[in-house]
Amino acid sequence: MAHDDVSPRIAGLLAGETTAASRSAEHTGFAPMRVNVHLGVHKTATTFIQAQLHDHRSLLADGSIRYAGISAVRHNFTTLFDRLAWTDALGGAASRPYLGRRLEALIRSQGRGDTFILSDENLLGLISANYWTGRLYPGAGRRLRMLDAMLKGKEARYFLSIRRYTDYLTSSWLQLASRGRAPSFDRYLAKFQPGCRGWAEIVSDMVAACGADRLTVWTYDWLSSDPGRVFGLLAPGIAFTVPDEELRRDVLPSLTIKGLKVINELKPHLSANELKNVARMMRGFPFDEPNPRLEIADAGLISAYEQQYQDDLARIRALGVQLHG
């Protein structure tokens, strides 16, 4: 998938070299005043959404909506944001203005527009960090508070997708495994037993950071039943059409057991980047059947996860956010 990057001129802006001309443009409305921030989470078709936004940039631009590709977002903002988020309580006074300049320059790099779409599931944290802390997105509230402060003066809205725990935990473990750094599946699940921090706590933290009126949540089931309608939330007013072939295929293909076995065999021989590329190929490789997907087999555990998920949905609705699904 091709993604846009920034020009050398914008690279200067991202380093904080703001010229008088760019400052003037900022005050005359060059930067969009509305920012729609898609926060993921991981394993909820974020790659699909980002690919469709990228492929429809011309249509978005016709509606005065701008979008920066995921490569540019991570290279110029999210990677540093993630590092500094861990120490924000100590160095926030120094780091936030610098991060804010980088984000502002990234937005302006996409040209004129009324709305900018920022999409990166790493903004709330990393899957590996979830495992090492034993909590799902423990810094979600703090990170959103940081991001919202950087977007001060703009109309910022936040969008989050959640998924049933059995599917999310299986898929997130497979992502770690595809990169050659996963614990055993049972050990991974043990960190996230039913009753631990979940979607309701994460959304509650986010509401405390930005308010219920600026947060929209959808379920993966709602998305997968009609993938095109999510773009009505992220890019309202745009006649966004997802190609038929995209609607027919699995929105979120994941590794099967055969694919995982191939990766495990290759681990001693390939670099981390090579393993990542092989994992991408394995997701779409036409293995002969039977080719089962990794699943949680314990019926009692499945039931407990489902009960927590349904409880979470009720609690999220009670928070007053817009919930689809």
167: which 2 tokens?
């599917």
170: which 2 tokens?
């299986």
Is 235 part of any domain? Answer: yes
Q: What is the pLDDT tens value at each position of the chain, 325 positions in all?
A: 434 444 444 445 444 444 433 333 343 344 558 999 999 999 999 999 999 999 999 999 999 999 999 999 999 999 999 988 887 655 556 678 889 999 999 999 998 899 999 999 999 999 999 999 999 999 999 999 999 999 999 999 999 999 999 999 999 998 888 776 778 899 999 999 999 999 999 999 999 999 999 999 999 999 998 888 999 999 998 888 777 665 555 444 567 888 878 877 888 888 878 887 887 788 778 899 988 878 898 999 999 999 999 999 999 999 999 999 9
- Give the pLDDT score at 61: 94
Is 297 part of any domain? Answer: no
Q: Are 165 and 309 in contact (CB under 8 A)?
A: yes
- Give the pLDDT score at 244: 62
Is 278 part of any domain? Answer: no
Is 163 part of any domain? Answer: yes
Instruction: Return the SS3 of 117.
Output: strand
- Give the pLDDT score at 245: 60
- Give the pLDDT score at 270: 87
Is 276 part of any domain? Answer: no
Dihedral sign for Cα 35, 36, 42, 45, please: negative
Q: Which of 158, 117, 149, 116 is nearest to 32 (CA)?
A: 116
- Give the pLDDT score at 92: 57
* Confidence (pTM): 0.84
Is 245 part of any domain? Answer: yes
Cα 103 from Cα 178, distance rounded (Å): 31
Is 185 part of any domain? Answer: no
- Give the pLDDT score at 89: 59
Is 180 part of any domain? Answer: no
Where residue 77 sits, what CATH number does that domain have? 3.40.50
Whose structure tokens read 């009324």?
Answer: 114
- Give the pLDDT score at 148: 96
Cα 168 from Cα 151, distance rounded (Å): 30
The residue range of the domain holding 157 is 21-172+198-250+313-324
Instruction: Tally helices (H) and strands (E) across the chain.
Output: 18, 6
310: which 2 tokens?
């349904």
Number of structural domains, the chain? 1
